[in-house]
Amino acid sequence: MFDQSPFECRVEWGRRGAREAAERGDIVIVVDVLSFSSTVVSALNAGAVIYPYPPDLDGKSYAESVGAEYILGRAEAARAGKPTLSPVTFNNGHRNNSYVLSSLNGAYCTWISSKVPALLIGSLLNASAVASAANKIKQVSGAAITVVPSGEMWNDVRENEDRLRPSIEDYLGAGAILSKLEGEKSPEAQVCIAALNGTKENLSQLIWDCGSGRELRERGYEADVLHCARLDVTEAVPILVDGRFKGWTIDK
């Protein structure tokens, strides 16, 4: 009863939303603008191979099992000159290298919804491209599409409180993708699109000043915020294949 199943294009929040979409057998687009999704897109542009993995499991052992390097935290990776969850740390020097990337939000949503007709990674950077890919997959598979803004997690959660903190950067990223999807959209999806259309003119400023943007800036990652707030700057579309992200092509 409390779902969007009558509609072809839907939006659901966080881990629970990812599970609901997976159980329905939807095409899933995971959106985590700051920064998992943007990092995966940027890594794919640089020619790197990314394996997503939940952060509270043994990522280092998993990395060894797939012949990849486990990505360190931002500060530790910066000291070692390694790529990290910061999307601007990936460049052509990482081409053909494999990495395991963890995050509390985007990587977890990816893990939860991995067994679907297609799992794509969306961001502001590739909003139109990922929507186009999802439309083509939908034409072939007949599956509905759910866009999953991952959101953030509150710290110091108290008893009877939820951890999920909905975030405007993911909502706006979801709206940018939903606006390009074909098919009847749920009321929730329509409102998400309206939020994007009503803020397009100052999109980058809103993301710069939002809670997640300010948090990254205060930690010294202003370049990440600027990078992730750009709309439709790449055609790269990561799709999950055998546990790792590859570039989507029409023959997939």
pLDDT score at 1: 54
pLDDT surpassing 90 at residue 208: yes
Q: Give the confidence band of 73 by pLDDT, cuts at 50, 70, 90.
A: confident
* Domain assignment present for 146: yes
* Domain assignment present for 174: yes
Residue entry with tokens 């931002």 = 74
Q: Give the confidence band of 78 by pLDDT, cuts at 50, 70, 90.
A: confident
pLDDT score at 79: 87
What rounded mean pLDDT belongs to the chain?
A: 95
* Domain assignment present for 182: yes
Nearest Cα to Cα of residue 41 among 252, 224, 251, 250:
224
* Domain assignment present for 4: no
pLDDT surpassing 60 at residue 167: yes
**Per-residue pLDDT reduced to its tens digit, 24-53:** 999 999 999 999 999 999 999 999 999 999
Alpha carbon dihedral 116, 147, 136, 85, in 10-degree steps, equals -80
Q: Give the confidence band of 2 by pLDDT, cuts at 50, 70, 90.
A: confident
What total of structural domains would you count in the chain?
Answer: 1
* Domain assignment present for 2: no
* Domain assignment present for 252: no
* Domain assignment present for 184: yes
* Domain assignment present for 86: yes
Return the CATH number at 214: 3.90.1560.10
Buried b (16+ CB within 10 A) or exposed e, 92-106: eebeebebbbbbbbb
Average pLDDT over residues 190-197: 98
Domain residues for 163? 9-247
